[in-house]
Amino acid sequence: MLNRLSDTIYYLSNQEDKERPTLGLVCGDRYSLIIDAGNSPRHAKDFLIEIEKLNVPPVKYVVITHAHWDHFLGMNEFDATIIVNHQTNELIKEWQRLSYDDRSLQKYVTTNQISAMCMEIIQTDMPNRDRFKLKSPDVIFENTLTIDLGNKVCILERIKSTHTDDSTIIYIPDEKVVFLGDCAYGTTTNSLFHYKQSLLLPMMKDIQKYDAEMFLLGHESICDLNEMNIYWEELTTASHVVKSISLENAIESFKLENKRNPNDNELFFIQAFVNDHIIQSQ
């Protein structure tokens, strides 16, 4: 079932047990726009079934927030203009060259091209896929793109983020809503989960320049401004004390600067920033 954020914005909540991220729907007077295409054709079809229950203008655009499989593998199901930034397009090209039969998928898992979870979802949700080929996006933009759905403007901006370099965020000014995809999360490199420390403040600046009160995230669904500010505060406080690969030094520095022990979130973030130093030192 779709969640209604306003008269013109809806979203399908993330389902972590199925590796399904949040999908968004923005409706103008003439057209509707979808944010992210889902992790499989089945996910996309489930979303479209829910949209059909609403009396909304036809879907003309689908924006992919970044080139991680769970956000775009359903895009063949949409009879709409697929929009991506330039780098997302280059990364999707790699998936267009893949074969999706069981033998090929197993080989990709073995060579770390895809995850075991990705293979499992594809095998479950795409039973007839031996000849499956991912279609190409229709519109590729560089840095920003503005789309008018009919008295409903959507601003797309590519930003570098702590999650991936090809992140696109979507801001709806009259609603003060921004879809962040996964950009505010960390990432995993060489089996270490980390936040790209050098990109944290630039990313926050890119996001906070928009006058937003509600934030849709790929794997949390929705946060209000207060919740996002707490998240940013915990991230920046943790980042500030990490200056080396020493977790002990970072925790001690946190205690000295803040006159308290880090909470569970801050401790998690401190470890993630320490991991980033470890990765940068390799």
Closest CA to 63 of 134, 167, 152: 167
- Per-block mean pLDDT, blocks of 10 residues, the chain (282 long): 96 96 98 98 98 97 98 97 98 96 97 95 93 96 98 97 97 98 96 97 98 97 95 98 98 97 98 98 90
Count of CB atoms situated within 10 Å of the CB of 2: 16
Measuring CA to CA, how many Å separate 17 from each of 14, 120, 121, 179, 180? Answer: 9, 12, 11, 22, 21
pLDDT at 193: 98
Q: Parallel, antiparallel, or unpaired for β 177-181 and 59-63?
A: unpaired
pLDDT at 24: 98
How do the domains of the chain map onto residue ranges? 3-98+134-183+214-224
Scored b (16 or more CB within 10 A) or e, 251-280 reads bebbeeeeeeebeeebbebbbbbbbbbbee
pLDDT at 221: 78
CATH number of 3-98+134-183+214-224: 3.60.15.10
Q: Parallel, antiparallel, or unpaired for β 81-85 and 59-63?
A: parallel
pLDDT at 75: 97
pLDDT at 14: 97
pLDDT at 282: 87
pLDDT at 253: 98
